[in-house]
Homo-oligomer: A and B are copies of this chain.
Amino acid sequence: MKKYRLMTPGPTPVPESSLLTLARQVTHHRTAEFRALHQEVLEGLQEVLQTKNDILLIGASGTGGMEAAVMNLIRPGSKMLVLASGKFAERWATLGDRFGAEVVSYELPWGEPFEADEVARILDEDPAIEAVYGTLCETSTGVGHDVEAIGRVVQERDRLWVVDGISGAGLMECRTDDWGIDILVVGSQKALMTPPGLAIVTVSPRAWKKIETVDQRGFYLDLLAYRKALKTFDSPYTPPRSLIAALAESVRLLREAGIETVWDNGRRLARATRAGLERIGFRMAARRPADALTTAYVPDGVDAKRLLDRLETRFGLKLAGGQGPLSGKVIRIAHMGQIDQLDIVSALAAIELVLVEQGHSVQLGTAVAAAEAVFAEGEESD
């Protein structure tokens, strides 16, 4: 009878109406019906991601989208700047190495946000850098980077701005066009509330121009093949039709709610989670915390793994632990997917109860009260 409560930073809970879409019988994809669905989901995504750029749907995990954003844009020997401060940002560097790029790193300790001024300085010093690879929300540390300010300095210097928005875009404010993002990569299984299996890649006209000059673009991840098929809302290879239908439904829900409302909600959930956790001795891992998830160091004396295990066995509450240097030191709570205020309250209550059960001194209800205060304050203006 135990409930399952998924609050990991991907996959996230999928709305019922999207799940039911998946249970429908499979239909063929070389049809007017599929093309209409494809067109609808792309128009919806343009609104959700705030872009007029082309959007490509690739049957792959987010990593496949990241690989496409490197392989299609960077010729062997070309210089790329990677903003590296966490597990997923480091993947950009790994990909650059794999494809023979010359990788320049602006590295910071995990948890630190990048400064646009420093990016500007690096670009001014090295005119050979063709593209800057960054992250909207670093899922390992919970940092929300200043994609807007960095985008401005990248664009002013006429380089390309590539952003991993896998964990965040769709819940966190992300104005793709206004912020000068040339390629944005998103995964279906995060803020877009769809099962894993789809990478979403937006490409600006500037980025297309560059891609056209790159010889080796692979085959399955060759973005030009997707662009060609897009003209008739087709897919170059058999698309994951069922997942696209589920994505269409989830995007419909996001549009109904209004994307700015979704961003506001995410902001409030994140603020309440931080307030609650800090009240009972947790410390934020991120100096500029993201809205998509909260990464927090457990209080002194608390065993993070034991806490997470018990949250799952006692309450079916699935949070995530730390990765890399944060392994065993933090917990991660996502605010993406169909997560609301009471889910946050419940999660904080569960943490209080398990900490007390495991012998730590916690005043029951205090984390919950701190979160509720944020939610109550939010309502005053509604």
Contacts and interface: CB of A to CB of B under 8 A. Distances in A.
Contacts of A220: 60-61, 63-64, 67, 221
B13 A25 contact: yes
Given A94-B219, A238-B61, A26 B14 contact: yes
A28 B318 contact: yes
Given A195-B26, A196-B59, A240 B243 contact: yes
A95 interface: yes
A324 interface: no
A238 B59 contact: no
Interface in A75-111: 94-95, 98
Contact of A242 (B22, B60, B63, B71): B22
A197 B6 contact: no
A274 B61 CA distance: 41
A195 B246 CA distance: 13
Nearest to A321: B30
Interface in A1-49: 4, 6, 8, 10-14, 19-20, 22-29
Contact of A238 (B20, B189, B237, B242): B189
Given A22-B195, A61-B220, 6 more contacts: A14-B25, A64-B220, A195-B242, A196-B241, A197-B197, A242-B243
B240 A95 contact: no
A238 B25 contact: no
Contacts of A243: 195, 197, 240, 242-243
A134 interface: no
Contact of A60 (B13, B59, B71): B59
Contacts of A24: 19
Contacts of A187: 238
A41 to B, nearest CB: 15
Contact of A26 (B61, B62, B189, B240): B189
A239 interface: yes
A301 interface: no
Interface in A227-270: 237-243
Given A59-B196, A220-B221, A238-B196, A26 B13 contact: yes
A46 B24 CA distance: 28
A218 interface: yes
